[in-house]
Amino acid sequence: MLVKRYGILNAEIASVLAHLGHTDAIAIADCGLPIPVGPQRIDVSIRKGLPSFVDVLDEVREDMVIEKVVFAEEIKTRNQKLHAKIVERFPDTPIAYVPHEQLKILSSGCKAIIRTGEATPYANVILYAGVIF
């Protein structure tokens, strides 16, 4: 029986977000990002393209105070359409870019990595938790 009125219904994602502290990080990833040993793997992919990276990002953004975001530098040239959609969602949040290989290394320090069904290149982000005060 569903008892939540609103917010993220996925129990694993809701739990991870509830347990984050200031500067803790989570990643939202496309279906191809290698997930290292360490972070909790939350696989919400159903099939290629479903759910999309943006759908998952939008829901997480509604529930999480985000202090900083990090993308792979390559998204700016290799996935311009998605990059434009993402940047507009973070008008007041610092955005950093690192080489994709560095993003993969940084992902090993995340509390969790949410794997989506996204099948476009460099659709990966690391979100750093802020505080509500």
Q: Which residues participate in catalysis according to the annotation?
A: 22
33 in Cβ contact with 114 (< 8 Å): no
Q: Report d(CA 93, CA 68) in Å as an integer.
A: 6
Q: Please list the residues that pair with 119 across neighbouring strands.
A: none
100 is in an annotated binding site: yes
19 is in an annotated binding site: no
79 is in an annotated binding site: no
What torsion, rounded to 10 degrees, do the Cα atoms 30, 31, 33, 36 define? 120
Binding-site residue positions: 30, 100, 122-124
Binding-site residue positions for substrate: 30, 100, 122-124
